[in-house]
Structure 1
Amino acid sequence: MTTLSFEDGTLRVDDPPPDLDLPFLESDPRSGTARAPAFRYAALKDVLDSRDDAYDDRVGSWPSLSLSTTYELRAYQRDALDAWTAADRRGVIELPTGAGKTVVAIAAMVSTGVPTLVVVPTIDLLNQWRRELETEFDVEIGQFGGGEQRKELITVSTYDSAYLRADDVGGDFGLLVLDEVHHLGGEGYRDIARFLVAPARMGLTATFERPDGAHEVVEAVVGPRVFSLAVDDLAGDHLADYDIKRIEVSLSDEEREAYEAAQETFVQYLRTSNLDMRSGSDYQKLVMRSGNDPRAREALLAKQRARRVMMNADAKLSALESILARHRDDRVIVFTAYTDLVYRLSERFLLPAITNETGVAERCEILERFRDGTYSRVVTANVLDEGVDVPDANVAVVLSGSGSEREFTQRLGRILRPKADGGRALLYEVVTSETTEENVAERRRG
């Protein structure tokens, strides 16, 4: 009889029907079996069921979990869950930060009632998910990452730990939840979804599409985007109404001279290189050329110097000083692109600082004091863009950033949770005029 089992990140098929011809099923001469990628489990079962072939499924015999939730889904959360269920419990749900993607995933765990692996990108999110699941469910919650490697019927893992464990535990879970699923587009992380058999798969994100097109890989191993709402669809009802204000500042004479000199070096190289920086692939070509072409390296370094000058303009500090004075009674997050600027701002304005150099214990302490009101403002370089619960902030200041629409959406999402007083959220963009930062700001606004 045909037997299905999980082995080292693959589906092992013993005694397959001789006429079973599937593009993803390959013969394994060493074991005398056939093998398929683990994520093809649902597709293989569908084919075998359609043929009425008798087979012994030793993969999908997960224990049934009796779970319940105290959450009452909002209408759009119910619609998202229904859309995912109708798509054979596979696919990506795209909702703005603060719209309750976790709640939808918890409802999916209740409705499927099978062992679940939740994969997240950061330790902060790992801890948040574990606390939420321990509060919601009366079962032990396992953890891969953050110093623990303990598997339970419901387990939360970082992407890094899931990548290392997938070929070992890939047969143990019937539902895979991938938070911030756009991370799965990374070359190594893709194997997490490939090595797990989980027939039910849910991806969660605020911004699904990736500029490198890797979201197509996510669709192949998780499923297509089955539900999507934008910030403006929920603002006013389920998220705070918001305003975006752009403040333009000017370079000083000294900064302007440095900026123009660096830009000229960069532009001169482009004129003779047949490269167009509007193309991401051409930028990668420039980086590759810089390894053995001194002119390309000089151009790349000049581009970086120009960017640093415009992003860190002294006038931005004056603008921030005015904003902080205007919002003395508000909860403010300041975002920058550079760690050294974070420390300058922290020292000048006495702001608690969070960077990738901040230890976990210190970061948790700062965020906790921000939540309880001890701190009313914090400055960060990218660390709070995603995966951190900061529910009470109502003002964000983007002093510098990339042209990524995802980054902008996530920063806006930090301040969009509904306010107790019904107040509006406010995001400031501080942009250096007559520089390429104006184009950067336009790109990230979509």
Structure 2
Amino acid sequence: MLTLRYDDGTIRLDGVDDADVAVESLPGVAWDDRGLVARTSAYRYADLRDTLGERGVAFEDEVATSVSERLSVSHAYDLRPYQAEAVAAWREAGERGVIELPTGAGKTVVAVDAIAALGVPTLVVVPTIDLLDQWRRELETEFDAEVGQFGGGEQTGAPITVSTYDSAYLRAEDVGGDFGFVVFDEVHHLGGEGYRDAARLLSAPARLGLTATFERPDGAHEVVADLVGPKVYEASVDDLAGEHLADYEIRRIEVALGPDERAAYEDAQGTFVDYLKRSNLSLRSGSDYRKLVMRSGNDPAAREALLAKQRARRIMMNADAKVARLGRLLDRHREDRVIVFTAHTDLVYRLSERFLLPAITSETGAAERREILERFREGTYTRVVTANVLDEGVDVPDANVAVVLAGSGSEREFTQRLGRILRPNADGGRALLYEVVSRETAEERVADRRR
């Protein structure tokens, strides 16, 4: 009889000759001459199982047997209507797919409900150590079950286990057959080349991806759809604002470069633009920009153009007028909880020193970061300044004002920053996001693009 077994990140098919089935007709299955067996990638297990069933091929499923343990888990959440709709849509799609909800909309609640509904050994994969800790605490609070951990200095498996993407990739060949359900938090990370194998090496038939922004500019979300399933439910910020998330307003403030800043900006930007014209390249083309980067390795003029672009970007994003305007905004919102976002670490420290703001950057240690956020949560601090690290992967306490002094043209980054201030306030107040943009610079186009 044909037998399916998990084997080092693959599904091994033993007894193919006896089953009278053409190997090449099965999803992703190929003959492995080294092992003299047929194999397919582990993530194709569900498709393979379904195909065999549809064709009436009898088989013994040792993959399913290995995760047959039933977990008796339940939770105390009262799901919001859109959360219940999201879980229902995912189950209707065959318990595979991606759910897109804004930051602050309770994606964790959706996953906890799905875990309880399926009641099978589950792996939750997250991008950061902060999220690893947060998920483990949440699961231990909600479920009367042991919760294991891969990452953060611990390698302990359990029927419910939380792992970083890095650890999931490293451990997948060994434990990839131990789970019937896998949850990928911030699932857009799976689009990265290295992390894709973390999903390919797992056999779990039930798969759930969670994100605030599913689509990637590089199109890699199509790879995610193949590994996890398509987007099965989405709700935007505007769909939930007012009832489940705070009402919000976005205000764009334009400031002028100083005379010296303007001269330096025009000089640097001119060097960059002139090279593009001479080389018949366009910033509108991603392939042209890649050509420029490649040329910079052996073409001094191309290298100088790239360096000039970086100088111009730094000038427009760190303008003195932005610092002055921030001071007025902080004074205006002295009674509010404010998060200030920048693009460069050196500006974070400049603002921290000038306005006595607690600072969080990639250089901030985990213990110090937790202490700052805890003091922000309890109200000892009412404002914090950061460069990128609070965009995702960190449980940020409630705030109602955000000031974006600088950022990229990424819609994902902008959506995540907006989401940091959308948790409803007790007084029902409106959230405010300020975009401070240098007038008559390329930053105006950057700001337009991220909208």
**Structure 1 residue 56: deviation in Å?**
1.4
**Structure 1 residue 22: deviation in Å?**
2.0
Q: In the alignment, what sits opposite 1:19?
A: 21
Say whether residues 1:142 and 2:148 are aligned partners: yes
Which of 44, 47, 65 in structure 2 is aligned with 1:43?
47
**Structure 1 residue 326: deviation in Å?**
0.4
Distance 2:193 2:291 in 1: 19
Within 5 Å, give how 1:74-113 maps onto structure 2: 74-113=80-119
Q: In the alignment, what sits opposite 2:128?
A: 122
Code of the residue aligned with 1:49 in structure 2: it is G
**Structure 1 residue 392: deviation in Å?**
1.6
Give the SS at the match of 2:276.
helix
Q: In the alignment, what sits opposite 1:8?
A: 8
**Structure 1 residue 51: deviation in Å?**
2.4
Which of 280, 283, 297 in structure 2 is aligned with 1:274?
280
Which of 56, 59, 67 in structure 2 is aligned with 1:55?
59
**Structure 1 residue 55: deviation in Å?**
1.4
Name which of structure 1's ranges 324-333 and 279-288 shifts more when overlaid on structure 2.
279-288
> 2:269 touches 2:309 (CA, 8 Å); kept in 1?
yes
Name which of structure 1's ranges 311-320 and 51-60 shifts more when overlaid on structure 2.
51-60
Say whether residues 1:199 and 2:205 are aligned partners: yes
> 1:243 touches 1:427 (CA, 8 Å); kept in 2?
yes
Give the SS at the match of 2:194.
coil
Which of 422, 435, 441 in structure 1 is aligned with 2:441?
435
Q: In the alignment, what sits opposite 2:257?
A: 251
Which of 146, 157, 168 in structure 2 is aligned with 1:162?
168
Aligned residues: 445
Q: In the alignment, what sits opposite 1:359?
A: 365
Gaps of 5+ in 1: none
Q: In the alignment, what sits opposite 1:329?
A: 335
Give the SS at the match of 1:272.
helix
Gaps of 5+ in 2: none
**Structure 1 residue 311: deviation in Å?**
0.2
**Structure 1 residue 29: deviation in Å?**
1.9
**Structure 1 residue 365: deviation in Å?**
0.8
Q: In the alignment, what sits opposite 2:33?
A: 29
**Structure 1 residue 161: deviation in Å?**
0.9
Code of the residue aligned with 1:383 in structure 2: it is V
Distance 1:70 1:282 in 2: 53
Q: In the alignment, what sits opposite 2:374?
A: 368
Give the SS at the match of 1:411.
helix
Give the SS at the match of 2:309.
helix
Distance 1:212 1:46 in 2: 32
Distance 1:163 1:30 in 2: 24
> 2:149 touches 2:163 (CA, 8 Å); kept in 1?
yes
Partner deviation per Cα, 1:181-204 (whole Å, 9 max, x = no partner) = 000000010011110001000000
**Structure 1 residue 28: deviation in Å?**
1.3
Code of the residue aligned with 2:13 in structure 1: it is V
Distance 2:294 2:266 in 1: 25
Distance 1:401 1:314 in 2: 16
Distance 1:137 1:57 in 2: 29
Code of the residue aligned with 1:229 in structure 2: it is A
Give the SS at the match of 2:352.
helix
Give the SS at the match of 1:292.
coil
Distance 2:53 2:27 in 1: 17
> 1:71 touches 1:103 (CA, 8 Å); kept in 2?
yes
Which of 172, 178, 181 in structure 1 is aligned with 2:187?
181
Give the SS at the match of 2:279.
coil
Partner deviation per Cα, 1:45-78 (whole Å, 9 max, x = no partner) = 1111122222111111211111101001111111
**Structure 1 residue 280: deviation in Å?**
2.2
**Structure 1 residue 324: deviation in Å?**
0.3
Distance 1:285 1:217 in 2: 25
TM-score (ref. length: structure 1) = 0.99
Q: In the alignment, what sits opposite 2:405?
A: 399
Partner deviation per Cα, 1:74-94 (whole Å, 9 max, x = no partner) = 111111001100100000000
Distance 2:367 2:231 in 1: 36
Code of the residue aligned with 1:211 in structure 2: it is P
> 1:391 touches 1:415 (CA, 8 Å); kept in 2?
no
Code of the residue aligned with 1:410 in structure 2: it is Q
RMSD: 0.9
Code of the residue aligned with 2:396 in structure 1: it is V
Partner deviation per Cα, 1:219-274 (whole Å, 9 max, x = no partner) = 01100000011100000000000011111110000000000000110011000212
Q: In the alignment, what sits opposite 2:418?
A: 412
Partner deviation per Cα, 1:373-426 (whole Å, 9 max, x = no partner) = 111110000000012222321100000000000000000000000111111111
Say whether residues 1:421 and 2:421 are aligned partners: no
Name which of structure 1's ranges 226-235 and 387-396 shifts more when overlaid on structure 2.
387-396
Partner deviation per Cα, 1:309-335 (whole Å, 9 max, x = no partner) = 000000000000000000111100000
Which of 58, 71, 77 in structure 2 is aligned with 1:71?
77
> 2:373 touches 2:397 (CA, 8 Å); kept in 1?
no
Distance 1:225 1:284 in 2: 30
Say whether residues 1:303 and 2:309 are aligned partners: yes
**Structure 1 residue 213: deviation in Å?**
0.4
Q: In the alignment, what sits opposite 2:215?
A: 209
Give the SS at the match of 2:70.
coil
Give the SS at the match of 1:316.
helix
Code of the residue aligned with 2:112 in structure 1: it is I
Code of the residue aligned with 1:12 in structure 2: it is R
Q: In the alignment, what sits opposite 1:230?
A: 236
State the identity as a percent.
73
**Structure 1 residue 23: deviation in Å?**
4.7
